[in-house]
Amino acid sequence: MRLNKLELRNYRNYLELQLEFPNRLNIFLGENAQGKTNLLESIYVLALTRSHRTSSEQELIGWQDDFAQIKGRIERKTSELELELLLTKKGRKSKVNHIEQKKLSSYIGQLNVILFAPEDLSLVKGSPQTRRRFIDMELGQINPVYLYDLAQYQQTLKQRNLYLKQLSEKKQTDEIYLDILTEQLVDFGSKVLASRLLFVKKLEYWSNDLHSKITNQKEALAIEYAASIPLKGESVEEIRSVFLAELQKNRKREIFKGNTFLGPHRDDLIFKVNQQNVQTYGSQGQQRTTALSVKLAEIDLMKEETGEYPILLLDDVMSELDDSRQIHLLETIENKVQTFLTTTTLNHVEGKMTVHPDIFYVQQGQIERKET
Ligand SMILES: Nc1ncnc2c1ncn2[C@@H]1O[C@H](COP(=O)(O)OP(=O)(O)O)[C@@H](O)[C@H]1O
Ligand SMILES: [Mg+2]
């Protein structure tokens, strides 16, 4: 898939911007604080309606303005699409081919993006929350049903925790309503978990392949899903019965503490290189390679799931990688995916690739394309 055209209005420090991308590789060159990340972010937001940097929509709107608009023309194998996102103080509006989409799940997934930013290098080292968020964002893009189940799960979890709190404070005594919420939580939770387990298997398959290439066959990467409940099987039904039994076992403690301690919202991923947990035993280099392999694996995974290659957004990552990883990264993306890359210097890319890039200069919210 390709993004052929991007238009911004009042997005962060871009008042008005129109760019076309006839080429596969697009490099945005500029000093710090000029708007490079903002530009990649806008493409990410166009795809997912949410930013990777902030949960506040307000932040994305230019300081002097009360709305922001992002438009993009997408070319897929068999169709062309116009996507449009309007952000206002009251919320967001999304359109596909000028028709408003009321449901998030009918909008997300039209444009598939993979973003790789320096903070992604902490996928391995960071908190379990980082890794759960990673799964949710990636899986959500390829599986709208997952997004729906997850939203329902989170909604039910909130209600259940609220009710548990009331029980713990003795403001409520009726446990029948807790049973209902528990059933609902287990229903959505087991679907979420089953989807995640399958996703992690596929992710492992593709990342192991890459990891082995990047390390010249020296390292094998394994990814395990660490569930907070003791799984006996991977089907929705099998998960369901274990999840329900575990919640029943823990009911007293839950009521005492007013919280739900088990479920997909408490799960984690474990990365292992040559059977050793990279998070605890890996060198910084191994942790970076792992993060890189996992991110790049998504390119093939998405292709397999959706039939199209996603768009790759690389924000300032070249400088964080050593020479051999830079070359592997560039080799993986060359010829395959349309790429938007930001950098403060061309040193990291020059002479390392065979495709000809389009270069754009970014300065204070203005972008100029280098004449070729
Ligand atoms: N909502 C906003 N309205 C106007 N300017 C903004 C907004 N949010 C951020 N900026 C400006 O954007 C600039 C940072 O852009 P960024 O893309 O992060 O820079 P970089 O080129 O280093 O990646 C800063 O100058 C900041 O003041
Ligand atoms: Mg930046």
pLDDT in tens, 99-151: 999 988 789 889 999 999 988 888 999 999 999 999 998 898 888 899 999 99
H-only helix segments in the chain: 36-48, 104-107, 128-142, 144-168, 176-214, 236-249, 251-257, 278-281, 284-306, 323-333
pTM of structure: 0.86
Atom number in ligand 1 closest to CA 30: 21
User: Given this model, what pLDDT does residue 232 score?
Assistant: 94
Q: Mean pLDDT across the chain, nearest whole number?
A: 94
Bridge partners of 75, per DSSP, are 2, 80
Q: Is the pLDDT of residue 80 over 90?
A: yes
Ligand 2 centroid to 211 CA: how many Å? 27
Residue whose Cα lies nearest atom 7 of ligand 1: it is: 12
Structure-model confidence comparison of residues 189 and 89, the more confident one: 189
pLDDT tens-place string over residues 176-204: 999 999 999 999 999 999 999 999 999 99
The ligand minimizing its distance to the Cα of 39 is 1
3-class DSSP state of 95: strand
Q: Which residue has the higher pLDDT, 356 or 358?
A: 358
Residue 124 confidence (pLDDT):
94
Among residues 88, 103, 86, the alpha carbon closest in space to that of 145 is found at 103
Starting from the CA of residue 366, give the closest ligand: 1
Question: What local confidence, expressed as pLDDT, does residue 328 receive?
Answer: 80
The CA-based angle 327-331-334, given to 5 degrees, is 135
Ligand 1 atom nearest to 39, measured from its CA: 17
Which protein residue's CA is at the shortest distance from atom 20 of ligand 1? 33
Q: How far is the CA of 14 from the centre of ligand 1 (A)?
A: 9
Pick the atom of ligand 1 nearest to 62's CA. Answer: 3
Where is pLDDT greater, at 353 or 299? 299
Residue 40 has pLDDT above 90, yes or no: yes
Grade residue 324 by pLDDT with cuts at 50, 70 and 90.
Answer: confident
Residue 164 clears pLDDT 80, i.e. is over it: yes
Task: Tell me which ligand sits closest to the C-alpha of residue 362.
Answer: 1
Three-class secondary structure of residue 327 per DSSP: helix
Mutate to test the pocket of ligand 1, among 9, 13, 14, 36 (most ligand atoms within 8 A of CB): 13
**Mean pLDDT on 69-84:** 96
Is residue 205 scored above 80 in pLDDT? yes
Greatest alpha-carbon span in the chain: 74
Please report, for residues 27, 128, 311, 317, 357, the alpha-carbon distance to residue 360 in angstroms, rounded to integers and kept in the order given: 6, 37, 18, 17, 10
User: What residues flank ligand 1, with Cβ below 6 Å?
Assistant: 12-13, 30, 32-38, 59, 61-63
How far, in Å, is the centroid of ligand 2 from the Cα of 33? 7
| Ligand 1 atom with the shortest distance to the CA of 63 | 3
Q: What is the mean pLDDT of residues 193-222?
A: 94
pLDDT by residue (tens digit) across 6-39? 999 999 999 999 999 999 999 999 999 999 999 9
- b/e map of 274-301 (b: 16 or more CB within 10 Å)? eeeebbeebeeebbbbbbbbbbbbbbbb
HSE, CB side, 13 Å, CA atoms: give it for residue 45. Answer: 31
Helix or strand (DSSP H, E) at 72: strand 67-75
Burial class of residue 213, CB neighbours in 10 A (0-12, 13-18, 19+): middle
Which residue's CA is the closest to the ligand 1 atom numbered 26?
33
| CA 65 / ligand 1 centre spacing (Å) | 15
- Pairwise CA distance, residues 183 & 206, whole Å: 35
Structural domains in the chain? 1-112+308-372 (3.40.50.300), 122-307 (1.20.1050.90)
Cα 45 from Cα 12, distance rounded (Å): 12
Q: How far is CA 83 from the centre of its chain?
A: 19
Q: Quick one: average pLDDT of 328-333? A: 81
pLDDT of residue 105: 79
Whole-number pLDDT of residue 118: 85
Q: So what's the pLDDT on residue 354?
A: 74
Q: Indicate the top mutation candidate among 9, 10, 12, 15 to test ligand 1's pocket, ranked by most ligand atoms within 8 A of CB.
A: 12
